[in-house]
């Protein structure tokens, strides 16, 4: 039976692109979570929300712990202002946990990252899951943007410095 998790790592286009490649991942949907406004939109009010992805995965093929290990090497866990070239609250990284078991696994994974980098502070919070609002309607072009607008997406990703910074932090562990 499939399970879901919600992760924020800056630009949801990049998170969607990265996680759809991972074995055992069934689907990745871009959206917003973590705020209080109902039905947030990209071009409208999404105050307090994070750009995030809802990942549907097969736990028989990939564990929650493995997804988190992959998550860490796809973000900058030290940036308290956002991710890469995108700054502001909606671009912050965060792990949204649905229960105590997920929280324990997430905390353990965060501690492991902190142990790898004792001279830097891991600022990515672990937060209680809230309602996830998929991007939809006239903003649905954000879903699968990396596929439907691949040239623009690649230009954005390169110019944002995402892969360069990931390589700087994670070396060969970076997935790109």
Q: For residue 44, give the CATH number of its domain.
A: 3.30.1060.10
- What is the number of residues in the chain? 176
The β-bridge partners of 32 are 51, 133
pTM: 0.95
What number is the average pLDDT over the span 129-138? 93
Q: Which runs of consecutive H residues, i.e. helices, occur in the chain?
A: 12-20, 64-72, 100-116, 145-148, 150-160, 162-170
Mean pLDDT of the chain: 95
- What local confidence, expressed as pLDDT, does residue 31 receive? 96
- Give the range of the structural domain holding residue 119, as residue numbers without chain letter: 3-173
Looking at the chain, the whole-number percentage of residues with pLDDT higher than 90 is: 88
Q: With beta carbons less than 8 A apart as the criterion, state whether 26 and 62 touch.
A: no
Is a pLDDT exceeding 90 seen at residue 17? yes
Number of domains in the chain: 1
What number is the average pLDDT over the span 37-58? 93
What number is the average pLDDT over the span 147-164? 94
What number is the average pLDDT over the span 24-39? 95
CA geometry: angle at 158 spanning 114 and 94, to 5°?
Answer: 35
Residue 139 binned pLDDT confidence (cut-offs 50, 70, 90):
confident
Q: 11 catalytic, yes or no?
A: yes
Q: With beta carbons less than 8 A apart as the criterion, state whether 64 and 5 touch.
A: yes
């Amino acid at each position: 039976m499939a399970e879901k998790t919600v992760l924020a790592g800056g630009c949801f286009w990049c998170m969607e692109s990265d996680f759809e490649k991972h074995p055992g991942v069934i689907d990745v949907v871009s959206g917003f979570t973590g705020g209080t406004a109902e039905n947030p939109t990209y071009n409208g009010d999404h105050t307090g929300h994070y750009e995030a992805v809802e990942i549907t995965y097969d736990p028989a093929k990939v564990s929650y712990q493995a997804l988190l290990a992959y998550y860490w090497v796809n973000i900058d866990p030290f940036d308290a202002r956002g991710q890469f070239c995108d700054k502001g609250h909606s671009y912050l990284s965060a792990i949204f946990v649905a229960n105590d078991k997920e929280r324990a696994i997430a905390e353990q994974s965060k501690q492991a990252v902190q142990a790898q980098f004792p001279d830097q502070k891991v600022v990515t919070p672990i937060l209680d899951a809230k309602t996830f609002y998929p991007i939809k309607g006239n903003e649905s072009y954000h879903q699968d943007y990396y596929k439907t607008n691949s040239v623009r997406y690649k230009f954005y990703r390169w110019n944002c410095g995402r892969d360069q910074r990931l390589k700087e932090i994670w070396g060969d562990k970076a997935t790109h």
